[in-house]
Amino acid sequence: MPLGVPKVPFRSPGEEDATWVDLNRLHRERLLFLGQEVEGEISNQIVGLMVYLSLEDNTRDLYLFINSPGGLVMPGIAIYDTMQFVIPEVHTICIGLAASMGSFILVGGEITKRLAFPHAMLYQFIRVMIHQPASSFYRSQTGEFVLEVEELLRLRETLTKVYVQRTGNPLWVVSEDMERDVFMSATEAQAHGIVDLVGI
């Protein structure tokens, strides 16, 4: 095994003692992790694992654990679209922070199977944040800038429609929430329809 591959204790059902296994073993158990900013490489890895595990056995659910400060829109949409595409239901579990694209992926889990734990660390609440997409191409020429703005508006409309559909909130509520950063505890996220359950 290459140096740096993380190992975690894992106990199979029926066994008394846990053994140290690499994360690939957890993937075989259908447990996936988004524990960083959403970008192309991690998005491709998660998408590939979801498709592979779906082809391997489409009768077993997938579990995506999220602790992410957000990240790039298109890689996040790729994860979301794959979650909707694969046959197994995808449970989303917020275990820390689900901000921006992290909250978009969280809300994309199978409805009734989206969960947030009440504490990321002792005395700290899980935080879920939503906001509108942003651009990093603000220094381009005017014509390109107009095209960029049009694309951002299309992306914002897409994201807004997904939040409306997945949360059950009216368009005006989601649109208003996306105008600014909105931080929520796990309980507030449940009331807002982003998650269905708050863990114990």
**Closest Cα partner for 24 from 45, 40, 43?**
45
Long-range residue pairs from 23-29, CB within 8 A, at least 24 positions apart, any chain:
27/53
pLDDT, residue 33, reads 93
Catalytic residue among 119, 131, 175, 185: 131
pLDDT, residue 67, reads 93
Reported as a single tens digit per residue, the pLDDT across 169-199 is 999 998 888 887 788 888 888 999 999 999 8
CATH number, domain containing residue 53? 3.90.226.10
Flag whether 10 is in a domain: no
Flag whether 28 is in a domain: yes
Return d(Cα 30, Cα 34) in angstroms, integer.
13
Rounded to the nearest integer, the mean pLDDT of the chain is 83
Interacting residues of 36 by C-beta distance below 8 A, sequence separation 6+ = 42, 68
pTM: 0.81
Flag whether 2 is in a domain: no
Domain count of the chain?
A: 1
**Closest Cα partner for 177 from 192, 187, 162, 197?**
192
Flag whether 3 is in a domain: no
Could you give the 3-state DSSP secondary structure of residue 21? strand
Domain range holding 191?
Answer: 22-198
Reported as a single tens digit per residue, the pLDDT across 14-46 is 888 877 766 677 888 999 999 999 999 999 999
Identify whether 131 is a catalytic site residue. yes
Catalytic residue among 100, 103, 135, 140: 100
Flag whether 165 is in a domain: yes
Flag whether 14 is in a domain: no
Identify whether 100 is a catalytic site residue. yes
Flag whether 17 is in a domain: no
Flag whether 9 is in a domain: no
